[in-house]
Chains A and B, each alone.
Chain A
């Protein structure tokens, strides 16, 4: 098997806030192979964004503590120095963010911001050449009339086009990895689909390895190769798309899947939801963090389960739940579908 492009090992990121210590990322490991699409799914406070931003070295506040390893092409990024990180950003790993309206500088034209990206690493590209390339990029992400759009300001573009422009900017230096942090959350549902199709096309046509971060499992279905489910700073389940969707092992994942409405199934009487609210990271229960919201809690749960492969037939499908595989398959059945509900 080829070496992974990106290897994150036991990443821990904590913050000393006014109210106490917050461990936002608590021992997260992941691997990204070339050309692969990895989805990271979780609610608010799960730590998915912090993980992504730490990979890029964008967590810079003085009250942060970062431990662990992030290796890109075998080069350690954590503690490697700001200069090394700058070289990697944009050129090898690029990132697009959630809200394109606030993520683009409102006083500069879209074209100049892309040109800035192109010329960021001291390249000898002339301004004219860079402008041409910017227009090309906008065109390649499906923005019509790209030649004219290059001169527009961010507020003159629609939400979907802004996000496309952000993606174009991220692709300017032809990076190997694209991290997309909730790229569709701030957009209309119809536009969401377009953006996801764009990401899928980029991955397919260019072999662009992608990390897609989202809170919506439905978004992942068409695009991802592998899925990481995060909860309260930890990975609670990890596996291929099929494994996660057809044989999910963690109650939290059942909850996420169960709350998806599906057109191809009969409408449920009541839409199942995960009871309770995401935990405050200041006040986590000991052992398994999902305990307070899990209807299947039993006496082993106060001890933190390890992230392990518990299925003999799928050793690469990992989960963090003490229930035996047979018990899991029983518990997750709710009226003929996967969901999270009290045992009758």
Chain B
């Protein structure tokens, strides 16, 4: 276990390093968008631009620039090119919104995804299964931002049933917090429910053919016990790993939903920074997101080994 952890940690660091280099490279390919120029604003004089260039080190060689920026990010000292505010602070500010969005949606999609998948599998071929499958496939085919826009328009703007965006902190007003997050949760969950219910259904149908299910029945167990303790239990294992990976990705910010619902989370910050070609926040957010992706990937592996005793923790990638 110890060796596994050490090797995975080293691997994680390596990947994060590579990711940061990749992000840096992507944005240093931009021709003719001189950050000093932009910072200086409209009425910039050449001296102002030169001064900014010197102050920020824009005339250093790229590797040097990279090192400086990484140093700043890791020490919490990095400042945005656009508005000179502290990037790390802003990210921390955005965390509650992003994490609330993910947590609430996750609860929803796990509950309904597993429920629908289970019902579909147990009553495979019947009308309930067909209906739920239609719902699920539709769910994974809907463009998320389109759904968000429509929900926002019809359920918020036009009917006033729900607030039209914004984020209220949990500690300030718990009810308002949930109320404002309801539509975003549903929007995010719809896609995931579709996906998870199909995966679970498929896993369960496969498990139902397994020999150990036959043995369980032969022991005289009730059908319900066979379904829950054997079929469902074994089918949930891949779901757990899938969930780990999904959450890892989402914790880096759900860009589209945050932007449309104006939640001011990390995703929205990412999008604004991208549009403004503002490199420091982009780098910091990319690292932040990649960190969670890699972390939860490792956690998912650990969970898998925990849930399936045949699997031993290995240090190589899957």
A interface, CB within 8 angstroms of B = 53, 56, 58, 62, 82, 86-91, 94-95, 97, 99, 102-107, 116-117, 120-121, 153, 155, 166, 169-170, 172-173
Q: Is B32 an interface residue (CB 8 A)?
A: no
Residues of chain A within 8 A (CB-CB) of B307 are 107
Residues of B within 8 A of A53 (CB): 214
B304 CB to nearest A CB, Å? 11
Residues of B contacting A155 in the complex (Cβ-Cβ under 8 angstroms): 309-310
Q: Are A116 and B219 in contact (CB under 8 A)?
A: yes
Q: Are A97 and B214 in contact (CB under 8 A)?
A: yes
By a CB distance below 8 angstroms, the chain A residues around B210 are 102
Contacting pair A89 B219 (CB below 8 A): yes
B216 interface residue (CB < 8 Å to A)? yes
A136 shortest CB reach to chain B, Å: 18
Output the least CB separation between A189 and chain B (Å). 23
Within 8 A of A (CB), among B287-318: 307-310
A104 in contact with B219 (CB, 8 Å): no
**Per-residue A-contact encoding for B12-44, CB less than 8 Å = 1, 0 else:** 000000000000000000000000000000000
Sample of 19 further A-B pairs with CB below 8 A, known A86-B221, A99-B211: A56-B218, A86-B222, A86-B223, A89-B218, A89-B219, A90-B219, A90-B220, A94-B219, A95-B218, A97-B211, A103-B214, A105-B216, A106-B212, A107-B309, A116-B216, A116-B219, A120-B219, A120-B221, A155-B309
**CB-defined contacts of B125 to chain A, threshold 8 Å:** 62
A89 cross-chain contacts in B, Cβ below 8 A: 217-220
27 contacts between A and B (CB under 8 A): A56-B218, A58-B214, A58-B217, A82-B223, A87-B220, A89-B217, A90-B219, A90-B221, A91-B220, A94-B219, A95-B218, A97-B215, A97-B218, A103-B215, A104-B212, A105-B215, A105-B216, A106-B234, A106-B310, A107-B309, A117-B219, A120-B220, A120-B225, A155-B310, A169-B219, A170-B218, A173-B220
B229 CB within 8 Å of chain A: yes
Q: Is the CB of B218 within 8 A of A94?
A: yes
Q: Smallest Cβ distance from A122 to chain B, in angstroms?
A: 9
Name the one of A58, A94, A99, A106 contacting B308, with C-beta atoms under 8 angstroms.
A106
Partner of B309, one of A58, A153, A170: A153
Least CB separation from B307: chain A residue: A107
Q: Which of the listed residues B210, B215, B233, B308 has the most CB atoms from chain A within 10 Å of its own CB?
A: B215
What residues of chain B lie closer than 8 Å to A56, measured between beta carbons? 218
Q: B231 CB to closest chain A CB, in angstroms?
A: 10
Chain A's closest residue to B309 (CB) is A153
A149–chain B nearest beta-carbon distance, Å = 15
Distance, CA A82 to CA B226, complexed state (A): 13
Residues of B within 8 Å of A88, CB to CB, are: 220
Check if B230 is an interface residue, CB within 8 A of chain A.
yes
Determine which residue in B217, B233, B310 has the highest number of CB atoms from chain A within 10 A of its CB, and name it.
B217
Q: How far is the CA of A104 from the CA of B219 in the complex (A)?
A: 12
**B residues with CB within 8 A of A:** 125, 210-212, 214-223, 225, 229-230, 233-234, 237, 307-310
Interface pair B215/A104, CB less than 8 Å apart? yes
Say whether B308 contacts A116, CB under 8 Å. Answer: no
- A90 and B218 contacting across the interface, CB-CB below 8 Å: yes
Complex CA–CA separation, A95 to B220 (angstroms):
10
Distance of A73 Cα from B162 Cα, bound (Å)? 66
**Contacting residues, chain B, for A169 (C-beta < 8 A):** 219
Measured between beta carbons, the chain B residues less than 8 angstroms from A170 are 218
Check A107/B221 contact, CB under 8 A, given A97-B214, A102-B212, A155-B309: no
Q: Which residues of B contact A94 (CB under 8 A)?
A: 218-219
Q: Which residue of B lies closest to A105 (CB)?
A: B212
Task: Find out whether the CB atom of A103 lies under 8 angstroms from the CB atom of B219.
Answer: no
In the bound complex, residues from chain A placing their C-beta under 8 Å from that of B309 are 106-107, 153, 155
Contact B220 A103 (CB under 8 A): no
A4 to B56, CA, bound (A): 96
- CB of B263 to closest CB in A, whole Å: 39
Chain B residues whose CB sits within 8 angstroms of the CB of A91 once the complex forms: 220
A107's partner among B219, B220, B308 (CB-CB below 8 A) is B308
Q: Bound complex: CA of A17 vs CA of B287, how far in Å?
A: 55
Q: How far is the CB of B5 from chain A (nearest CB, A)?
A: 23
Residues of A within 8 A of B212 (CB): 102-106
CB distance from A153 to the nearest CB of B (A): 5
Task: Report the 8 A-B pairs with minimum CB-CB distance, sorted nearest first.
Answer: A90-B220, A89-B220, A102-B211, A105-B212, A90-B219, A103-B211, A117-B219, A95-B218
Residues of A within 8 A of B225 (CB): 120
Does the CB pair B233–A107 fall under 8 Å?
yes
Q: How far is the CA of A94 from the CA of B221 in the complex (A)?
A: 12
Determine which residue in B125, B215, B219 has the highest number of CB atoms from chain A within 10 A of its CB, and name it. Answer: B219
Task: Tell me how far the C-beta of B307 lies from the nearest C-beta in chain A, rounded to whole angstroms.
Answer: 7
Chain A residues within 8 Å of B216, by CB: 105, 116
CA distance A95 to B217 in the complex (A): 10
Q: How far is the CA of A64 from the CA of B115 in the complex (A)?
A: 29
List chain A residues, Cβ under 8 A from B310: 106, 153, 155
List, in ascending order, chain A residues with CB within 8 A of B219's CB.
Answer: 89-90, 94, 116-117, 120, 169, 172
A310 to B99, CA, bound (A): 82
CB distance from A170 to the nearest CB of B (A): 8
Q: How far apart are the CA atoms of A53 and B218 in the complex, in Å? A: 9
Q: Which of A58, A103, A153 has the most CB of B within 10 A?
A: A103
Complex formed: what's the CA distance from A116 to B220 in Å? 10
